[in-house]
Amino acid sequence: MNARLYRVILPVRDVNVAARFYGAIFADPGRRISPGRHYFDCGGTILACLDPARDGEEVEFRPNPEWVYFAVADLEAALAAVRAAGGRPPPGDIHGEPAFEIVTRPWGERSFYAQDPFGNPICFVDQKTLFTGE
């Protein structure tokens, strides 16, 4: 079977805040799909910001437990955009390095780690340095 990842859901407490945050980072307003869903096309994979309460679902809010990784052409601009949009550093270091700074990882990727306003862990990687396991 040949499968491809087409959607990743990020839980959010306020879909309007999420739309502004990710819209500012991606320089793209995205699309409101329902009262509680706002979608961004990330290179063929949809980032779905989901505010379940606004869609009438009774679900306890919990941020994603694992990182969502974005490949970008300009890592410095991405870091500036995340900071300006209200992103924040995750608690502690990542892989023994500062999280909210651009670092070259031992496997060669240049990246920085952050959290969105809802505590979802996000990472931005310089697309020229992506490590895909090969």
Band the pLDDT of 35: cuts 50, 70, 90.
very high
- The yes-or-no verdict on residue 134 having pLDDT over 80 is no
Closest CA to 112 of 81, 12, 24, 65: 81
The DSSP-derived string for 48-73 is EEE-GGGGT--------SS-EEEEES
Tell me the longest C-alpha to C-alpha distance in the chain: 45
Which domains, from first to last, does the chain contain? 1-56 (3.30.720.120), 64-134 (3.10.180.10)
User: pTM (2 decimals)?
Assistant: 0.93
Q: With bands split at pLDDT 50, 70 and 90, how would you rate the model's confidence at 76?
A: very high
Could you report the per-residue pLDDT of 79-118, keeping only the tens digit for each? Answer: 999 999 999 999 888 888 888 999 999 899 999 999 999 9
